Chain A
């Protein structure tokens, strides 16, 4: 049997299978009618473009791979790809093909679209069943956790962008849970129901709605479409306890090409129903918990009661507490209307409406209302009710009834307090803050809080994170956080000082105090507190601390002993130097002692004197005494003290104590040395003078002896006599010097004018002999008070010097000038004599220093003058020019103020004698 070409042609045309021949150029060469029948294109259309252009883009690569295999000689069996139809849809084709050596393709295809879709549908159904199973298996507890993932999965399954579970109340459409690819929707977000497609469901009382392409539907004018341009929507009502709770819906901004089918709608319906069931279970759980709680509360507070009404019998049951609240005898029969009449006339309509609505719609009510009791007392009550259903039918209602009068009053009080608090906050210098939920970041800050930090409200957010990370000084963060966490548990005191960054002034110190609210586990749930600017305080504290430190250092390191005593002599504090002085090692040791324990008894009298001074002048000393050291030895000290008034109102005594052992020793040594020197001087002069006196005495016998005649002997006697005179003079000088040091100042009235005249008289022979001109300028109002001996020494030496060193060339003039100026006496002695050369001026007052050798001088005169001036606490100066003369200026005190003139005791001092 053989087939003709025509026969093939017939088969080709008649075959329900799609048959084709394609060339190596990628174009169809020949197609059978099944092609145009299946795909809707004409043969011409199909052959005008390379066949790859009709293949679904996702399938092009696999198709090319398959052609590659064919070109290598493999046979294609059941290769599947999608071909574009003229209506825009794709059809799944299953191909078989044979290659020919020249590259031409002979291929046959079967339309497997419906099989393919069924298979996909099957897979999807499987998925749906899985989701539904998952939802149905959800417990009330975990539903909230799982819902987001389920919404996402189902949205993807339905090729929708958005999945929402909404809660609908009146015109509010609240997001209960949502899936949005860009997270643009969040829980509790509220929309106007009218702006959602779910509005259509509610308005038309439909269970579900599915629209694949909104633009082409009758709802294309819906506000939701206008607002959100959502092209596809599928949604279903969720009912809880028979009432509309909200919706489960999915939507997308693209039309759903595949178009929603029955299965999709059923899926959404079943899901919504299950979600409703779960919500119901959940609510029941919560109700159970709540009623248990209420029962507990009722037991606890005692003023909550229960009521129940049977709508069929109109019987109203009140618990004892409800009777008590109404002040109606327990057990009295009450009908519903009577019950309602107990409410305040203003509130009666509210309860009536609520009860009516509750019975009609099965809604629950929870109201706070004013009640007038049977006894006419007004009180606030909380009335809560819900219907009782039996087989879906409302058979009654029941609820709780609570006396909340105190609560309301407390609330009112609270409101009032809050108002007061607000006022207080506004008036306070402290900034106030409230971290009302410590699990969140938000805080509330008062205007003053902002002001203290230099900000205005709104410039920075009142957040804990802002406080911690922006305002708080980095070094203070850990301490502040520690202080917060230390408030957990028992401790509730939060009081820290930290630095906050002021807007303009940099970091400043603030004190932050807070009240802490804690849950039953002791965890902080809320903190409310204040801040105050303590920068100035801190600064002064710091300054105080600095000066305290400086003072401490001085106190501790002072070589001077310092002691703080109570007025009774007990020690409070002493420094190290003080301890060293009295030989103790610690303050504790000395604290057991009193000041009197370390004071030798013989100083009691002196101490009493000092105590008098403390009481009258607030200070004492300086005075010298001795302390007992710990080892029993005595130590000489110099004391000085002052009474200080302390802020606690007490007076205390600060004393400085100086160990004067060394000073005493050197004083004693000096005294000994001076004494020795004095003695040496006196003894020396005496021991030298005595034999000289004897020589002088015996010389007289020799001089009277007429037997001595030789010239040499007579000359010898003369020179012996001269030497004796010289020695005597020297001895006299020594004595005068020693005397000058020791002469006691004895203040008495002195007629200075007479003194000068006496002095001049004693020098009269020299004055007359040398024709010396004396000019006296004396202006004195009265006698002066000074020491005669010293004044004598001054006048005698200066006047005799002026005469001694007179001019040889011209008439010697000696000017004596006395002036009185208040308490000062000026004595000026001038001459026109030989003067003192410059380098000698400073030497003239030194002992045994003579400025001039041409004249006979001892070199002690001016030394004695200087000593006398010093003893009288005066000063002396010299002005002199060589060859022109000298002026000695003496300034002495006129001791007029001294009333008591000391008279020296007649001393029996053998050492002062010869």
Chain B
């Protein structure tokens, strides 16, 4: 199975991020997992990708983003608006999956109305789901 260079987690919930990190690690599909806690941080990461050096290594460009909706500073939908307006060479072809605890069908509707959003998933994420994503978008 192909290994992804980088998965970007965008969620203000640390417990959630950690759980998602565990699942991704368990699946073994990714080399690098980056964590941001709101849309703003995530945008910064994306626009400055490759510039950040940690241990002499460039932060890699993410292949997959797991995006939460409800976050402080900049929520998921706001992030999507901004992301939409980014130059194409920066955006590249990132698969964005929205993760949410929302029970409202409207939220799902809204989320899927963005072309940038590939899928919508109610938390918690499972290994099986990630496998499904991998086979759908990265095989």
Distance (Å) between the CB of A248 and the closest chain B CB? 134
Closest B residue to A910 by beta carbon equals: B75
**Complex formed: what's the CA distance from A907 to B106 in Å?**
9
Given contacts A693-B123, A700-B124, A913-B70, contact A735 B104 (CB under 8 A): yes
Q: Interface segment, A683-691, A772-780, A812-820? A: A683-691
Given contacts A910-B75, A913-B77, contact A689 B19 (CB under 8 A): no
Distance (Å) between the CB of B25 and the closest chain A CB? 12
Q: Which of A701, A739, A912, A913 gathers the greatest number of chain B CB atoms within 10 Å?
A: A913
| Contact flags B88-117 to A (C-beta < 8 A → 1, else 0) | 000000000000111110110110010000
Given contacts A686-B70, A693-B124, A906-B113, contact A913 B22 (CB under 8 A): no
**Is there a chain A Cβ closer than 8 Å to B24's Cβ?**
no
In the complex, what residues of A have CB within 8 A of residue B113's CB? 906
**Is there a chain B Cβ closer than 8 Å to A553's Cβ?**
no
In the complex, what residues of B have CB within 8 A of residue A912's CB? 104, 106-107
**A interface SS class:** helix
User: What interface size band does chain A fall in?
Assistant: 20 to 34
**Is there a chain B Cβ closer than 8 Å to A218's Cβ?**
no
Closest A residue to B126 by beta carbon equals: A700
Given contacts A732-B103, A739-B104, contact A697 B109 (CB under 8 A): no
Closest A residue to B75 by beta carbon equals: A910
**Is there a chain A Cβ closer than 8 Å to B1's Cβ?**
no
| Residue contact B103 to A694, C-beta cutoff 8 Å | no
In the complex, what residues of B have CB within 8 A of residue A697's CB? 16, 19, 123-125
In the complex, what residues of A have CB within 8 A of residue B101's CB? 686, 689-690, 693, 914
8 Å CB contact of A914 from B22, B100, B126: B100
Given contacts A686-B70, A697-B19, A697-B123, contact A910 B109 (CB under 8 A): no
Residues A680-710 near B (CB distance < 8 A) = 685-686, 689-691, 693-694, 696-698, 700-701
**Is there a chain B Cβ closer than 8 Å to A855's Cβ?**
no
| Residue contact A913 to B123, C-beta cutoff 8 Å | no
Given contacts A906-B109, A912-B106, contact A690 B16 (CB under 8 A): yes
Distance (Å) between the CB of A404 and the closest chain B CB? 115
**Complex formed: what's the CA distance from A739 to B106 in Å?**
10
Closest A residue to B100 by beta carbon equals: A914
**Complex formed: what's the CA distance from A732 to B22 in Å?**
27
**Is there a chain B Cβ closer than 8 Å to A908's Cβ?**
yes
| Residue contact A914 to B107, C-beta cutoff 8 Å | yes
Q: Which of B15, B109, B113, B125 gathers the greatest number of chain A CB atoms within 10 Å?
A: B15
| Residue contact B124 to A913, C-beta cutoff 8 Å | no
| Residue contact B13 to A913, C-beta cutoff 8 Å | no
* Total B residues in contact with A, Cβ cutoff 8 Å: 24
In the complex, what residues of A have CB within 8 A of residue B19's CB? 694, 697-698
**Is there a chain A Cβ closer than 8 Å to B66's Cβ?**
no
In the complex, what residues of A have CB within 8 A of residue B107's CB? 912-914
| Residue contact A910 to B13, C-beta cutoff 8 Å | no
| Contact flags B41-81 to A (C-beta < 8 A → 1, else 0) | 00000000000000000000000000001100001011000
| Contact flags A178-198 to B (C-beta < 8 A → 1, else 0) | 000000000000000000000
Closest B residue to A694 by beta carbon equals: B15
| Residue contact B13 to A694, C-beta cutoff 8 Å | yes
| Residue contact A914 to B102, C-beta cutoff 8 Å | yes
In the complex, what residues of A have CB within 8 A of residue B125's CB? 697
**Is there a chain B Cβ closer than 8 Å to A851's Cβ?**
no
Distance (Å) between the CB of A821 and the closest chain B CB? 33
In the complex, what residues of B have CB within 8 A of residue A691's CB? 15
8 Å CB contact of B103 from A696, A700, A731, A910: A731
Closest A residue to B81 by beta carbon equals: A908
8 Å CB contact of B69 from A693, A698, A914: A914
In the complex, what residues of A have CB within 8 A of residue B15's CB? 691, 694, 698
**Complex formed: what's the CA distance from A444 to B124 in Å?**
117
8 Å CB contact of A913 from B16, B100, B126: B100
| Residue contact A914 to B124, C-beta cutoff 8 Å | no
| Residue contact A686 to B102, C-beta cutoff 8 Å | yes
In the complex, what residues of A have CB within 8 A of residue B16's CB? 690, 693-694, 697
Closest A residue to B122 by beta carbon equals: A693
Closest A residue to B109 by beta carbon equals: A906
**Complex formed: what's the CA distance from A48 to B75 in Å?**
168
In the complex, what residues of A have CB within 8 A of residue B22's CB? 701
**Complex formed: what's the CA distance from A912 to B107 in Å?**
7
Closest B residue to A728 by beta carbon equals: B103
In the complex, what residues of A have CB within 8 A of residue B77's CB? 908, 910, 913
| Residue contact B124 to A735, C-beta cutoff 8 Å | no
Apart from A693-B101, A693-B124: 16 A-B pairs, beta carbons within 8 A: A686-B101, A690-B13, A693-B16, A697-B123, A697-B124, A906-B109, A906-B113, A908-B77, A910-B70, A912-B107, A913-B69, A913-B70, A913-B77, A913-B107, A914-B103, A914-B104
**Which A residues are closer than 8 A to B by beta carbons?**
685-686, 689-691, 693-694, 696-698, 700-701, 731-732, 735, 739, 906-908, 910, 912-914
User: Can you list 7 A-B contacts with CB-CB less than 8 angstroms, sorted by A residue number?
Assistant: A689-B103, A693-B124, A694-B15, A694-B16, A694-B19, A700-B124, A913-B107
